[in-house]
């Protein structure tokens, strides 16, 4: 038998969604129109969400502080070791080695996919902003030397870095979600790799087709071509090992956990070594 839904119950159920929409609107206004720092804007919008949900100022503040400390406590070492590893990859020239080798193997006709693969590999252990700053001079140089449109080469790079940073541990966002749901970071990485790779291809070479005739170049003061001496760069084997070491360690830990009983000493050892914090620390030492 059909009964008419209670309007009061419907209104109460919809209230959290309304508060969420208002909080997001406040966040957008503060960051776009108010030009407020994103972190400060997030704090303000989170505080507004708590007040609108009837938590009270004191309870809202305690909730924000607890959430911040819990998240930071889980991710602090990961962020620190990831940033240090990224700087070592940048300063050593390993990123240049990997990109140059892939372009040499795949050739000019498949240069987009060479850029995509290089950016995806480099983006696995490096944070987006660091990897972008490392790779964008290479994209500028390739665009000027090959005559190809800047967007045609830049979009595969940006798409690969976005997919790796947004979907895969040990990057902070994906790692925080894994921690929140008590998911194994290595298994999350293993399952996420093919999905992230497909997203990178769709948002890179496939989407860039629509911008093939778009001609643009960086502002004169933004980029100055710089020659990189090949003999001063690390070898391909060393470069690719350094970049993939933490990823391989995390995946190996998940594989052992699936194949070996939990009480086994090997499983316990691999569970320790494949922890994102330990894997990134060992990768930094190796680098």
DSSP conformation letters of 30-83: IIIIS---HHHHHHHHHHHHHHHTT--HHHHHHHHHHHHHHHHHHHHHHHHHHH
Residue 63 inside a domain? The answer is: no
Mean pLDDT of the chain: 83
**130 and 211 share a domain?**
yes
Q: Do both 82 and 48 map to the same domain?
A: no
Residues 39 and 80 in one domain: no
* Residue with the larger pLDDT of the pair 16 and 230: 16
Same domain, 123 and 257: yes
In a domain, 17, yes or no: yes
Q: Examine the domain organization and report whether 182 and 215 are in the same domain.
A: yes
Phi-psi group of 182: left, alpha or beta (phi > 0 → left; psi -120 to 50 → alpha; rest → beta): left
- Check: CB of residue 60 under 8 Å from CB of residue 47: yes
pLDDT digits over 164-174, tens only?
A: 999 998 888 88
Residues 84 and 199 in one domain: yes
- The single residue listed with the structure tokens 């708590």 is 50
Segment 139-170, tens digit of pLDDT: 887 887 788 888 889 999 999 999 999 999 88
In a domain, 33, yes or no: yes
Give CA angle at 96 (119, 113), nearest 5°: 35
Is 277 part of a structural domain of the chain? yes
Q: Does residue 40 lie within any of the structural domains?
A: yes
Considering the domain boundaries, does residue 25 fall inside one? yes
- 217 and 114, same structural domain? yes
Give the range of the structural domain holding residue 42, as residue numbers without chain letter.
7-54
Q: Is 62 inside any structural domain?
A: no
Asked if the structure places residue 102 within a domain, the reply is yes
Pair (150, 97) in one structural domain? yes
What is the total count of domains within the chain?
2
115 and 247 both lie in a single domain? yes
Contact assessment for residue 78 and residue 280, using Cβ atoms and an 8 Å cutoff: yes
- Does 106 lie in the same domain as 45? no
pLDDT for 175-213, tens place per residue? Answer: 888 888 888 888 888 899 999 999 999 999 999 888 877
User: Do residue 41 and residue 135 come from a single domain?
Assistant: no
Counted residue by residue, the chain has a size of 287
Tell me the whole-structure pTM to 2 decimals. 0.71
Say whether both 37 and 139 belong to one domain. Answer: no
């Amino acid at each position: 038998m059909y009964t008419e839904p209670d309007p009061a119950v419907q209104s109460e159920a919809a209230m959290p969604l309304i508060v969420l929409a208002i909080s997001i609107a406040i966040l957008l206004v503060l960051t776009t129109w108010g030009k407020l720092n994103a972190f400060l804007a997030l704090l303000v919008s989170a505080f507004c969400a708590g007040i609108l949900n009837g938590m009270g100022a004191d309870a809202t503040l305690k909730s924000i502080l607890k959430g911040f400390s819990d998240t930071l406590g889980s991710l602090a070492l990961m962020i620190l070791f990831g940033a240090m590893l990224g700087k070592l990859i940048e300063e050593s020239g390993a990123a240049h080695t990997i990109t140059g080798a892939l372009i040499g193997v795949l050739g000019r006709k498949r240069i987009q996919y060479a850029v995509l693969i290089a950016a995806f590999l480099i983006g696995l252990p490096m944070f987006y902003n660091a990897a972008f700053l490392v790779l964008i001079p290479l994209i500028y140089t390739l665009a000027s030397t090959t005559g190809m449109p800047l967007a045609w080469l830049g979009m595969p790079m940006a798409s690969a870095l976005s997919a790796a940073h947004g979907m895969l541990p040990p990057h902070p966002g994906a790692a925080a979600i894994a921690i929140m749901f008590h998911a194994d970071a290595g298994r999350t990485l293993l399952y996420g790799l093919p999905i992230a790779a497909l997203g990178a291809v769709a948002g890179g070479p496939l989407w860039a087709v629509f911008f093939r005739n778009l001609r643009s170049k960086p502002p004169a003061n933004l980029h100055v071509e710089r020659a990189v001496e090949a003999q001063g760069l690390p070898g391909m084997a060393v470069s690719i090992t350094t970049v993939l070491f933490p990823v391989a360690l995390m995946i190996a830990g998940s594989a052992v956990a699936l194949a070996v009983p939990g009480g086994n000493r090997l499983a316990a050892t691999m569970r320790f070594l494949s922890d994102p914090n330990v894997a990134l620390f060992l990768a930094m030492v190796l680098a």
